[in-house]
Amino acid sequence: MTVTVSRQPMTDKRTGILYIVSAPSGAGKTTLCKMAVDWFPGLRHSVSYTTRQPRPGEANGVEYWFVDDGAFDAMIRKGEFLEYAWVFGKRYGTSRKDLERLAAEGADVLLEIDVQGAAKVRDAISGGAYIFILPPSIEACRERLRARGKDGPEEIDRRLNEAVAEIRKALDYGYVIINDDLQTAFEELKAVIVSERVKRERTEARVRAIFGAYMG
């Protein structure tokens, strides 16, 4: 038997859901988030701002908005970030305005941010879904970083040290996915996204609109 779950959000007029996804480098977070955004039409990726250099193949406005320190400082001064953090010696931040625009469109939004950023969002906003993606082992993490060929050996060591620090925070998250097999991890991520959508507090208004007359 094949069971098909709708990829569409349940109602036209609704408050979007904020999904906060963290993971150490090499856990496969970016791949999984891309797969999720491609799968669910109502799900959008929030593009962060960063002061790091683009890697080969990255484009401005796609993976990140790449800005210099001056522009990042100006955004901090104007209070434009919902959160920002130093990661691997560079700054990364989530634009408040971009999120508000996506929310106004009724989109569900995926924030791919580090554990410091996630803690700040948790303080600032209620009701988000917090998802942590783990590699099956530290060794697998090292192998994935090597295989993607984007960072040199020193950067890989640095990212692995940071990975261990991030992994300690995994159990602060509401959902934890161990990415041993990409397809299985993707099924789990889809299940999380759908289960957040059908939570009672999010479907109550629709239930009342349909069955209110019988509910007293």
Could you report how far apart the first and last alpha carbons of the chain are, in Å? 37
| Host H or E run for residue 91 | strand 90-95
Least Å distance, CB 49 to ligand 5GP, is 7
Of the pair 25, 179, the CB lying nearest ligand 5GP is at 25
Judged by CB, which is closer to ligand 5GP: 33, or 107? 33
Smaller CB distance to ligand 5GP: residue 11 or 116?
Answer: 116
CB 166, min distance to ligand 5GP, A: 7
Least distance to ligand 5GP from the beta carbon of 116, Å?
6
Please, what is the minimum distance in Å from the beta carbon of residue 180 to ligand 5GP? Answer: 20
Nearer to ligand 5GP, 91 or 197 (CB): 91
Which tokens belong to 170? 């995994």
55: its two tokens: 């890697």
**Residue ranges that bind ligand 5GP, judged by CB under 6 A:** 25, 48, 52, 83, 85, 87, 92-94, 112-114, 116-117
Rounded to the nearest whole angstrom, what is the least distance from the CB of residue 132 to ligand 5GP in the complex? 11
Nearer to ligand 5GP, 56 or 216 (CB): 56
DSSP of 21-63:
EE--TTSSHHHHHHHHHHH-TTEEEPPEEESSPPPTT--BTTT
Q: How far is the CB of 141 from ligand 5GP (least distance, A)?
A: 12
Q: Report residue 100 as tokens.
A: 């508000």
Phi-psi region of 138 (alpha: psi -120 to 50; beta: other; left: phi over 0): alpha
User: Which residue, judged by CB position, is nearest to ligand 5GP in the bound state?
Assistant: 117
**CA 10/CA 7 separation, integer angstroms:** 9
**Is-contact 111 23, C-beta < 8 A?**
no
Nearer to ligand 5GP, 99 or 197 (CB): 99
